[in-house]
Structure formats: C-alpha cells, structure tokens
Amino acid sequence: MHLTLISYPRSMDPRMEAAAFAARPDPAPQPRSRAFGRCQHPSQLRELLASHGRRRVRRLDLVGHGRPGTLRMGSGVVVTPEPSSWSLLAGLDPYLHPQAELRLLGCHTGADREGFEVLRGVSALMGRTVWGTASLLYSGDWGELGLKDEVAREWLVSSAGLATPVPARRRFGDPPVERESGRRVA
C-alpha cells in the first residue's frame, strides 16, 4: 500500500489544502493500494499508520512544509538535521513493509548539507531508502494519486543515490532560496 499523510495545520493553509484536494478530488472509495490521510501533529503518525495494519505500507509519503533537512506537519516538527529528532521516524518502522520507502515531501527537505545528512542518517537508522525534495513544491505538483510521477522523477533525491549533498534547486519562476542564515541564494 502507498500511504500519503498530508499536513493539517491548526489554521487553514491554502497550499496544503490544494495538495489534499488534488490528491483526493472526491470522496469516492480509494483503491486498496492507495490511501490518504491528514495529520495535524507528528505525534499522530504512529496511530495513523497502525490503522492500516502492520507491515502493509510499502511507500509512506509525509507531506508538509520543509526546508533543507526539516519537515513540519501541522503544529509540529517531524524531522530536523538534529539526529535526536530522527527517532520519531524510526518509531514508524513496525508499520512499514520491510522494503518500504519513506518520502519527506516538503520544500527542499533533501537539499543542501542538512538534507543530505537527514536522508542518509534516517536511512541508516531505519535500513530503508529515504527521499526528500531538492526544490520547492507547488499545488500543481499533486494529482489524484498524490505527488505526480514526473515531479518525483525530476525533483526528488534519494538516500540511496546521494554521494554528496545536492544544492537546493530552483524551478523556473522560483524566488531566491532563503538559507537558515538569512542569506539569499539566486
């Protein structure tokens, strides 16, 4: 099963709502191979996965706001470049299929040194492939089945395929990338 959990912040965020509605345009039953859910706080992740059964999820997409090495969902942080934050994701392991992949779908989550360290570190901790984004994500990047395949092919980076950090990449029309230091990069 491919499970996509989309951030549900305390106050409405048009960017998250656009992804949620694109992924599930109507309340029709979902195929058994696909499931969508909403998550207001990372502490709910384990319970949401448990509702789908043990070892059934083959791909877990966590959708929220990001920056290099960081993903936020709702009112909490899922992961940061600080290794002590990685245990939340490792705690999801009992609910994932042995060959499951984890995708951290927020802007720039896999970019720069911070993203590289998180993807490689979480991958080593969990023993599975972890993906992140090297660019911004937009509402048009989502379709009925979640993140569009062509967007994933172009803008996702994998812990398995990284030997060195990937710089944050700009898509046509993107604003300059804001770094943690406040410095803008064109």
Give the residue with greater pLDDT, 178 vs 93: 93
Q: Hey, what are 22's tokens?
A: 């694109």
Give the residue with greater pLDDT, 5 vs 170: 5
Q: How confident is the model at residue 105 (pLDDT cuts 50, 70, 90)?
A: very high
Per-residue pLDDT at 162 exceeds 70: yes
Give the chain's mean pLDDT: 86
pLDDT, position 35: 87
Q: How confident is the model at residue 13 (pLDDT cuts 50, 70, 90)?
A: low
Whole-structure pTM value? 0.85
Determine if residue 135 is left, alpha or beta; phi over 0 gives left, psi from -120 to 50 gives alpha, anything else beta. beta
Asked whether the beta carbons of 130 and 102 are under 8 A apart, the reply is yes
Task: Please tell me the distance from the alpha carbon of residue 81 to that of residue 117, in angstroms, as a whole number.
Answer: 7
pLDDT, position 185: 47
